[in-house]
Amino acid sequence: MKQLLLVFLGGGVGSVLRFLISKTLNSSFQPYFLGTFLVNILGSLLIGFIIGLTLKGNYLTENQALLLATGFCGGFTTFSTFALENQSLLKNGDLLHFTFYTLLSISIGIFAVIGGLWISKSI
């Protein structure tokens, strides 16, 4: 039960922060979904860092990793919004922005996870 509560709390905080960032940045930088892009990249970097610290053994407990990685990062990042935004770009026939948004989000997201793992090794 404690683990469920930790995931719930972390997810709630992550979701609210994602909402605030996306609401602010997505409306300012149309047709780019800058808010969603940034939260997904930052979340990827953060989850790599958190998992890296967890794997080191002495930095985060299992419960802290659940709160931060599963809860916060799970609520903060959003694949469903990313997919919906891409569908909107396709519906509007905006293949150029669709292609760049998709390729950059996926490739930079993967590199951000690797970067987070690398940063955690230097601690």
- The answer to whether the beta carbons of residues 49 and 72 sit under 8 Å apart is no
Bigger pLDDT: 73 or 57?
A: 73
Name, in order, each residue with C-beta under 8 angstroms of 21's C-beta and a sequence gap of 6 or more.
35, 38, 39
pLDDT confidence tier of residue 4, bands split at 50, 70 and 90: very high
* pLDDT for residue 27: 84
* pLDDT for residue 97: 95
Ligand-binding annotation for 77, yes or no, is yes
Ligand-binding annotation for 35, yes or no, is no
The rounded distance, in Å, linking the Cα atoms of 59 and 56 is: 7
**Residue 101: which of 45, 43, 29 has the closest Cα?**
29
* pLDDT for residue 66: 95
- The answer to whether the beta carbons of residues 21 and 38 sit under 8 Å apart is yes
Residue-wise pLDDT for 80-109, tens only, equals 889 999 999 999 999 999 999 999 999 999
* pLDDT for residue 68: 97
* pLDDT for residue 9: 98
Residue-wise pLDDT for 16-69, tens only, equals 999 999 999 988 877 778 999 999 999 999 999 999 999 988 899 999 999 999
Q: What is the pTM of this model?
A: 0.88
